[in-house]
A and B are shown apart, each in its own frame.
Chain A
Amino acid sequence: MANATRQAINEEAAAWFVRLQGVDVPAEDRGAFDRWMDDPAHAVAYARVEATWDRAERLKAIVNPNANRNAPLLSRRAAAIGFLTIGAGAATAWWLTHKPTYQTEIGERKTISLSDGSRVELNTASRLASAYGYGRRDVHLLAGEAMFEVAKDPKRPFVVHAGAATVRAVGTAFNVRLRDKVVEVTVTEGLVAVDDLTVRSGGRPLAAGNAAVVGLGSIAAQPLDEDALKRRTEWREGVIDLRGETLGQAVEEFNRYRTRKLVVGDPKLAVVRVGGTFETGESDKFVEALKAGFNVKVVEGDGGVVYLVPNT
């Protein structure tokens, strides 16, 4: 950032800080401030100004030795994250032996062109079977994760079956990931209808930019911002982008691409938050970063398991 820009933002931040200290701040000013703060670069400048204000209190010590020096206490709120956990029936399909199936090994990624021109990109350790019929195109995701780019054919809907979820599309692009107990659907283009086998609501519409978690007889949909959307499909570039995930979650991601699985051997360590961008295949680099930045030690366990433990 150029210095001039930096100074201009600092000045705006200072102006807001001063303005908001006033007694009666009109609602529209507060609204304008909220919008201004939506830009993290602005918020960082605002934090700086606040910090300056806090730190300037120490100037009192020069004027008045009895100055109150209480530092503001950081109140921390433990974020409670609710997880949807369900028991999705294991997908056993008799036709598996009869229909074309595609699969990837751990660490492998593969693009498949289906007979109708639709493209499927399979992520690591994934398995897919196609069962095209007259009136419809059925595809079964049996393991892992896949991104679908569906060729348009209004007469033959394209239906993905994954765990308890069905995703129905005409011509669109979306990502489906089988997680332990739920199925995660992310739509990047067009519109799909998502349904849960146990509910059969007739399909809940899900438009581009939205994601749904399907399982336990419920469908939880939420809009994703551009950034989150990009992250959901970043595996196609072979990238894992961590932004404050717990170490436990990060390890789960990396393990999808590893044969020698990582295990976090300490509950305190598992909840440490980590950030950074890594290639899916370079989890060793991630481990190195953990060793350096988080004081983590690696212990080789039986059966090729790699334990991460605090270095005490």
Chain B
Amino acid sequence: MTDRDQRLAWFKAQILPHEAVLRHHLRRIGVAADDVDDFAAEAMTRAYATQDWAQISNGRAYLSTIGRNLVFDAARRRKVVAIETIPDLDVLHIADWQPSAESTVSAREELKVLQTALDQLPPRAREIFTLRRIEELSVKDIGAKLGLSVKTVEAHMTRALTALTEALQDSDRAAGSQTGTTWRTRRDRR
């Protein structure tokens, strides 16, 4: 395993699962939907680029700190915005970053998202992805079986994998956009 492989494994295990939570919090403090995408993308990128990633075992807390500070920075840069935003940022300060049942897509829902995305693929792409991922045939064997070149099989695989990735990402975004009462702040609890 190279350093990069290890970093990817860490990122997948420690950071990626918390993106929906981050989005939720950003929305909760009144960040506009478009900006949520930007902040979240920037936070994910920064988290990935962390120098001493191997030492970070609380990915959720780490990601939330990055997100929080991006908002602070933006508020500070746009001084006009700051006056109105800062009181809301207090909420972010004391927000309860524990994930709730609603904030993360459950395993069952995730399977449903994947299945729906698979069903919506063009028939060839669906067939090829099923052969590759579920029946674990090699690209070469799939090509031989269907009378297609390796390149064509790879193109269908790429299409399928992109569609599934997008579907999962969108379901995360939907989860992150929920406004619920499960996200208590310490202030609320008083």
Please report A residues at the B interface, Cβ cutoff 8 Å: 1, 6-7, 10-11, 13-15, 17-19, 21-23, 37, 40-41, 43-44, 46-64, 72, 74-79, 243-246, 271-278, 288-289, 292-294
| Residue in contact with A75 in the complex, picked from B6, B66, B114, B130, CB distance below 8 Å | B6
Q: Is B146 an interface residue (CB 8 A)?
A: no
Interface-central residue, A58, A75, A77, A244, by most chain B CB under 10 Å: A244
Write out the residue numbers on chain A whose beta carbons fall within 8 Å of the beta carbon of B56: 244, 273
19 further A-B contacts with Cβ under 8 Å, apart from A49-B165, A72-B9, A276-B72, are A1-B38, A10-B162, A14-B159, A18-B154, A40-B49, A41-B41, A46-B8, A47-B12, A51-B168, A62-B111, A75-B9, A77-B54, A79-B52, A244-B56, A273-B52, A276-B65, A277-B69, A289-B65, A289-B69
Given A15-B158, A72-B9, A275-B62, check contact A243 B54 (CB 8 Å).
no
**Complex: A22 Cα to B165 Cα, angstroms:** 20
Q: Is B106 an interface residue, CB under 8 A from the partner?
A: no
Instruction: Verify if B101 is at the interface (C-beta below 8 Å from A).
Output: no
Q: How far is the CA of A274 from the CA of B145 in the complex (A)?
A: 52
Please give me the 5 A-B residue pairs with the lowest Cβ-Cβ distance, nearest first. Answer: A276-B69, A14-B161, A244-B50, A273-B56, A40-B49
Distance, CA A40 to CA B111, complexed state (A): 28
Chain A nearest Cβ from B110, distance in angstroms:
6
Q: Closest B-chain residue to A273, C-beta based?
A: B56
Count class of interface residues, chain B: 35 or more
* B29 at the binding interface (Cβ < 8 Å): no
By secondary structure, the B interface counts as helix
Set of chain A residues within 8 Å of B129, measured between Cβ atoms: 56
Residues of the A chain whose Cβ atoms lie less than 8 Å from the Cβ of B111: 58-59, 61-62
Minimum Cβ distance to chain A for residue B123 (Å): 17
Q: How many A-B residue pairs have CB under 8 A?
A: 177
Q: Which residues of A contact B72 (CB under 8 A)?
A: 276-277
Residue of B nearest to A17 (CB): B161
Q: Determine whether B21 belongs to the interface, using a CB cutoff of 8 Å to chain A.
A: no
- B177 in the interface, Cβ–Cβ < 8 Å? no
> Of B12, B38, B47, B140, which contacts A50 at CB under 8 A?
B12
B37 to chain A, nearest CB (A): 6
Chain A residue numbers with a CB within 8 Å of B20 are none
In the complex, chain B residues whose CB is within 8 Å of the CB of A10: 162, 165-166, 169
Map CB proximity to A onto B143-171 as digits: 1 under 8 Å, 0 otherwise: 00000001000100111011011101100
Identify the B interface with A (CB < 8 A).
1, 4, 6-14, 16, 37-38, 41, 44-58, 61-62, 64-66, 68-69, 72-73, 93-95, 97, 107, 110-111, 114-115, 118, 129-130, 133-134, 138-140, 150, 154, 157-159, 161-162, 164-166, 168-169
- Asked whether A64 and B134 contact (CB < 8 A) given A18-B161, A59-B115, A293-B65, the answer is yes
Query: Given that A23-B140, A271-B55, A288-B93 are known contacts, is A14 also in contact with B165, CB under 8 Å in the complex?
Result: yes
Q: Known: A1-B37, A292-B95. Contact between A56 and B52, CB under 8 A?
A: no
Report how far A10 CA is from B161 CA in the complex, Å: 9
- When chains A and B are docked, how far (Å) is the Cα of A17 from the Cα of B8? 13
Please pick, from B48, B138, B139, the residue contacting A43 in the complex, using a CB distance under 8 A: B48
**Chain A residues, CB < 8 A from B110:** 55, 58
Partner among A7, A23, A53 whose Cβ is within 8 Å of the Cβ of B133 = A53
Contacts of B140 in A (CB 8 A): 23
Interchain CB contact under 8 A, A274 and B154: no
Q: Please tell me if the beta carbons of B61 and A41 are within 8 angstroms of each other in the complex.
A: no
Shortest Cβ distance from B156 into A: residue: A18
A11 to B6, CA, bound (A): 23
Tell whether, in the assembled complex, residue B48 and residue A22 are in contact, meaning their CB atoms are under 8 Å apart. no
Q: Are B157 and A276 neighbours in the complex by a CB distance under 8 Å?
A: no
13 A-B residue pairs with CB within 8 Å: A15-B154, A22-B139, A43-B4, A44-B11, A46-B8, A49-B165, A58-B111, A60-B134, A74-B10, A78-B54, A276-B65, A289-B69, A294-B61
Q: Check A276–B66 contact: CB distance below 8 A.
A: yes
Q: Is the CB of B166 within 8 A of A51?
A: no
User: Which chain B positions have C-beta within 8 A of A50?
Assistant: 8, 12
